[in-house]
Homo-oligomer: A and B are copies of this chain.
């Protein structure tokens, strides 16, 4: 089942995507929901970030192939024995087809990181890895947009990975996806494949991540766990189109824009 959040007219609604239509539901997508009977063609609605998390966590370095690239930024030289969670700021959330904006004062430009995201479906506190899997409602795609100058300069990822618009997610939550089966996560920049990883190669899998975080932090329905990324990403430029394609989930597509530099600013 594909759960989408969308706007039609002035209202924000939830629905189930079926073919080229979305069937609106009422109630909670985490509890009970019923069809309202209203159906809209996908082309007539605006898909939004499929959920509004109270918090989002990155796993820390989670693909061995990303180690060489990451070591030049964070100084980390080997895979950690435990996850190293960090907060991805919810201010940064945008949805499918929204524009990723390069801040005018970016130091190093911005890079894509194509990831698979687990959406928590039920409260998790001190759960085991097996229970962690059961707390996941479904999966969506995300682009962990990153500014490497700020990532080097700052003690946290508060702007390097969470300046406004640095968190595109979507297009929907796929509840029948299982990353344990091994799915490719592919990024295309202007149609050219620039990144490819497999969910099977996550150093810490989603069940482990949910379990680990939940030992100290209660995860709530809607919260999001990012998979981490791989390889050595490239910069994105104004006018680019970036797609994160997680096989079996869907394609998240965004354009890249640039903030205008103000005339006079201290």
Contacts and interface: CB of A to CB of B under 8 A. Distances in A.
Given A55-B90, A90-B55, A266-B128, A84 B155 contact: yes
A85 B266 CA distance: 20
A89 interface: yes
Given A128-B266, A155-B84, A54 B90 contact: yes
B105 A159 contact: no
A155 B59 CA distance: 11
B125 A164 contact: yes
B159 A216 contact: yes
Given A54-B91, A128-B266, A156 B156 contact: yes
A220 interface: yes
A57 B158 contact: yes
A17 to B, nearest CB: 27
Interface in A31-60: 54-55, 57, 60
A103 B265 CA distance: 47
Interface in A72-86: 74, 84-86
A86 B216 contact: no
Most buried by B among A84, A86, A92, A216: A216
A208 to B, nearest CB: 12
A152 to B, nearest CB: 13
A190 interface: no
A196 interface: no
Contact of A159 (B90, B128, B217): B217
Contacts of A164: 125, 216-218
Interface string A16-34: 0000000000000000000
| Interface range for A | 35 or more
B89 A87 contact: yes
A162 interface: yes
A262 B127 CA distance: 12
Contacts of A244: none
A246 to B, nearest CB: 25
A85 B158 contact: yes
5 contacts: A91-B218, A92-B217, A126-B265, A158-B213, A158-B216
Interface of A: 54-55, 57, 60, 74, 84-87, 89-92, 103, 105, 125-126, 128, 154-159, 162-164, 213, 215-220, 262, 265-266
Closest 3 CB pairs of A and B: A87-B87, A86-B156, A159-B216
